[in-house]
Amino acid sequence: MLWAPIVVADGRDVNLSLIYPCFLGSRMLGSTAVSWLSGPGSFIPLEDYLSLSFVAAGLSLTMAAYDYPEVGALVALFCGLHACYGMILPSLARLRTALVPNELRAGMIIFSLAPANASILFILIQGGTTGMLAMQRYKRWLAAFGLFTAAGCVHVLKRWKRRTPSSWHDL
């Protein structure tokens, strides 16, 4: 959500030039972790570390929304959240490639991006940058709930994948 303005909105002093490099480094660390976890000889299935990434991202948002910790802890939560996002995005791409046939993939991507873009538009229309701090806290709680729901959906997908044929064409 709007993390950097929230860090400084209550008068605390923070070096905002530190947040962008932390964001980029965390995303790259998460993407690198995906290649380590999914490389040859990996013993963790894709769905397991994907659902763990969703849970970890939800926990970091929950901890940040529960109370306003010190700036160092808030930046650490920010880095942890974006490291999880760095793991989630390539993992979802691998999962989509493995489960969705080529002729349906583009439509599925567009269909899944529509609710995400609509929610971002709704938050911006509601005044995300000028809203009160309490409203930002509720938005983070809602985002954490969405991440926990996504973890549950990936867990259900893993159970469903064991019971269905390996190809969509066999259905």
pTM, two decimals, is: 0.72
- Report, as an integer, the average pLDDT of 84-90: 89
Residue 2 and residue 54 in contact, taking contact as beta carbons nearer than 8 Å: no
Query: What local confidence, expressed as pLDDT, does residue 2 receive?
Result: 44
pLDDT, tens digit (0-9, with 9 covering 90-100), for 25-75: 888 998 898 888 887 777 888 888 888 899 998 888 887 766 666 777 777
Residue 65 to residue 51: CA distance in whole angstroms: 21
Q: CB within 8 A of 92, min separation 6: which ones?
A: 50
Query: What local confidence, expressed as pLDDT, does residue 63 receive?
Result: 79
Residue 171 to residue 161: CA distance in whole angstroms: 12
Q: What percent of the chain has pLDDT over 90?
A: 2
CA 139 from centroid of its chain's CA atoms: 14
Query: What local confidence, expressed as pLDDT, does residue 67 receive?
Result: 63
At residue 166, the 3 state secondary structure works out as coil
With tokens 């650490």, the residue in question is 76
CATH of domain 3-170: 1.20.1250
Among 19-23, 124-128, 154-158, the minimum mean pLDDT is found in 124-128
Q: In this model, does residue 8 exceed pLDDT 60?
A: no
Q: In this model, does residue 91 exceed pLDDT 70?
A: yes
